[in-house]
Structure 1
């Protein structure tokens, strides 16, 4: 561990803390604000709640896990479904349920141990569902990249839109592949900045109207975010559609959480599954999501970008993670910054979304490859095939006008059921991976 710059509990000096915290926050910034932008929620609230949720997570995990919580991409489609059913409040009610389910699962793990959940959520179930998340959003990304949506909902194709989107995409790809260090961990943020500048140049040279800067000029430096408070800003009216749109996605996000904890443990040479425990980290994630939903923010998840920054900088300090959270909270009250975010053109968002959603889908494929899933086994072939077709095809099980299970949620539920009922065992065993990680840690101490 001689190459570690700052270990988990090391506290940097004030100047270093500010610099490292800002760097870390900006690495999370692009993805955190992209989710609310795509789902018509408030980017300011998303930024504020990401900071609050991260601080909650750090407290719950006893300052032992250097993880940052941002907006979850797994919930983009479910948020849109819930919002269509009951407005933005519907998505918030669904997110509250998600947070409560996390709490229940963490309580069960606390009482019974963590091994059972790792058995029912193996890579052969999780990986195809992750692929469904990315591929299911492909049409959304491409439409934003090519079309102008009028007030009447009509889509008009513009070649200029697609050119800006492709240039934005090119900048993100270049940052991700041709640069090293922190720049390579922020392709989404830098891509959006580059696309924004290209849009400004296009407006000045060719008379296009991608950006309206007047809203940025009119915005105040200090401005309260647009809170969504239950019982005040919307009626509390839970429906089965909201429940089944949001809650089944917990299957995916808990699996994602476990994966992040295993990878993060390898990076910082700890076993977080056993200490502070999977029950604590899940509770921190769930409580962060619950608090976020109570004021209008999207569901939260531990970020893979966070792990990338830790690997590159070798700065594992929870003080830096907490500092990044505080920076996010402060920036959420900047009216001009949030107005600037709101002015990002659709093709710019479409360009970075093409890469981001593609990476999500590819990460599911990578999970299958890394875990050496053998598709010569009919069990694996059946589970993956059914999940992919049901999820991408938009399968729907309708019980009544208000009660249905569809798309990604249906695919995830069916995948879990198939994994339980089909003969044979899932490989690899995540329980064994956690045990191996624990043994490696003991050997390093000795």
Structure 2
């Protein structure tokens, strides 16, 4: 066992008690994502209860296996960084759309085709990593933060037009959870300080129970064990045209994975070569997404949540996320644990997530501080990227009258912000650098 410090190193193996506590903290912060993703699919497609339970089990299982893969990184699959894998938000919407337009078999086939496309495109993408300097990564982190805060703010508020929209009880519960988390971070030091996110979530859960806002009736009902079924929708259908939205997203996902890998490596203090580490992350995403297509889920990928939780807790050990992966697998196989996780009110999870995701934004700001924004080119790169990235986030439906193919890219703030930052950085900074290099030669 390694000696424990306030900021354990990425390769530190902590005592079992700490691994379990810190791992549980990661799981509880992330648990809402797989649960809500399956409920979204089930509700949109009218899936029966038994199939919904099966998909929840499959999603938790693949998240756990993927987390272990990213944490340990065997055979160049996985970054060997503290990553927890979850279903991607945009791919879920695309999965549902494909299933509604075609069928579930075609949706599963599209996930499999996209996972294979990762492997095909990765060698080309790896050569383009030099176009992702700090100004691009910092902008991406800032946009990720704003987008995630918006998404989880929507989860707290509820669906507009519904009877429970903007329910003061839910909003108050979320604000109380945020307050608990910040209070614990201020009061506690050492290990308890690192558990501030978990303690805030537990305090919010206890408050919800005391106010009668939790239902434990379904926890004990049902089977004790559950196991996912291979090919729950039958044999996949492979339709490249139907898969185009997911294929385009895969490139966007690679850009996001680049930012996450660089940012998490910087947080944990590991010096990496992005040309080696980023492809490892992407290979892990591709492999687990391939398995997801076989088990009826959408794409399972690394997510921006990882950056926030690592920075918020200052727990850097990849063995903590490996423990989180083992807990996710246990939840997948133990039906009562899965039902207990789903019983935590979305307002509590949303409040916890808001703190974590806002911290991602502070990391983006910190990275941008290292860029000379007094330099005219950098100023316009950032301004242009934020303009194109924030527009579809703060003005939903801005591009709704554009062709569907264009909406897929233009309507994705992360994609547009990142793409704009890359292009403008090449236009301003590379052209400027080339002119600077040529100047002495022209004077000779």
TM-score interval w.r.t. the shorter chain?
A: 0.7 to 0.9
1:161-200 aligned within 5 A? 161-200=170-209
1:280-299 aligned within 5 A? 280-295=280-295, 296=297, 298-299=299-300
1:53-68 aligned within 5 A? 53-57=66-70, 58-61=72-75, 66-68=80-82
CA offset digits 1:186-219 (Å, max 9, x no partner): 444433322221111111xxxxxx2222211213
1:170-319 aligned within 5 A? 170-203=179-212, 210-225=213-228, 229=231, 232=234, 237=239, 238-245=242-249, 247-264=251-268, 266=269, 271-273=271-273, 279-295=279-295, 296=297, 298-301=299-302, 303-304=306-307
Query: For residues 313 and 181 of structure 2, what CA distance do their matches in structure 1 show?
Result: 20
Q: Which SS does the other structure have where 1:422 is aligned?
A: helix
User: 1:3 Cα deviation (Å)?
Assistant: 5.5
- The two structures have a TM-score, normalised by structure 2, of 0.73
What RMSD, in angstroms, separates the aligned Cα atoms of the two structures?
4.1
1:420 corresponds in structure 2 to 426
Change (3 A) 1:124 1:171: same
Change (3 A) 1:247 1:232: farther
1:379 corresponds in structure 2 to 377
**1:27 and 1:185 in contact (8 A); partners too:** no
Runs of at least 5 residues in structure 1 that lack an aligned partner in the other structure: 204-209, 428-446
Q: Which SS does the other structure have where 2:178 is aligned?
A: helix
**2:223 and 2:335 in contact (8 A); partners too:** yes
Change (3 A) 1:91 1:35: farther
Query: For residues 276 and 311 of structure 2, what CA distance do their matches in structure 1 show?
Result: 22
User: 1:47 Cα deviation (Å)?
Assistant: 3.1
Query: For residues 130 and 325 of structure 1, what CA distance do their matches in structure 2 show?
Result: 24
CA offset digits 1:166-188 (Å, max 9, x no partner): 11111222233432334434444
**1:102 and 1:283 in contact (8 A); partners too:** yes
Query: For residues 242 and 64 of structure 1, what CA distance do their matches in structure 2 show?
Result: 21
Query: For residues 64 and 350 of structure 1, what CA distance do their matches in structure 2 show?
Result: 28
1:127 corresponds in structure 2 to 138
Runs of at least 5 residues in structure 2 that lack an aligned partner in the other structure: 40-54, 393-397, 434-444
User: 1:262 Cα deviation (Å)?
Assistant: 4.8
2:417 corresponds in structure 1 to 411
Q: Which SS does the other structure have where 1:300 is aligned?
A: strand
**1:8 and 1:64 in contact (8 A); partners too:** no
Query: For residues 61 and 94 of structure 1, what CA distance do their matches in structure 2 show?
Result: 26
Query: For residues 401 and 108 of structure 2, what CA distance do their matches in structure 1 show?
Result: 23
Query: For residues 358 and 176 of structure 1, what CA distance do their matches in structure 2 show?
Result: 15
* Number of residue-to-residue matches in the alignment: 398
2:358 corresponds in structure 1 to 358
Change (3 A) 1:307 1:164: closer
Query: For residues 266 and 114 of structure 2, what CA distance do their matches in structure 1 show?
Result: 22
CA offset digits 1:50-87 (Å, max 9, x no partner): 321133342525799743431359x4355345535646
2:153 corresponds in structure 1 to 142
User: 1:131 Cα deviation (Å)?
Assistant: 1.6
Query: For residues 254 and 334 of structure 1, what CA distance do their matches in structure 2 show?
Result: 34
1:103 to 119, 143, 146: 119
Query: For residues 200 and 215 of structure 2, what CA distance do their matches in structure 1 show?
Result: 19
CA offset digits 1:273-314 (Å, max 9, x no partner): 39986544543343234334543265322734785699658x
Query: For residues 43 and 194 of structure 1, what CA distance do their matches in structure 2 show?
Result: 26
Query: For residues 25 and 417 of structure 2, what CA distance do their matches in structure 1 show?
Result: 32
1:340 aligns with 2:309: no
Question: Which stretch shifts more, 358-367 or 160-169?
Answer: 358-367
Query: For residues 159 and 4 of structure 1, what CA distance do their matches in structure 2 show?
Result: 42
1:390 to 388, 391, 398: 388
Question: Which stretch shifts more, 272-281 or 337-346?
Answer: 272-281
**1:181 and 1:312 in contact (8 A); partners too:** no
Query: For residues 239 and 80 of structure 1, what CA distance do their matches in structure 2 show?
Result: 13
Question: Which stretch shifts more, 242-251 or 358-367?
Answer: 242-251
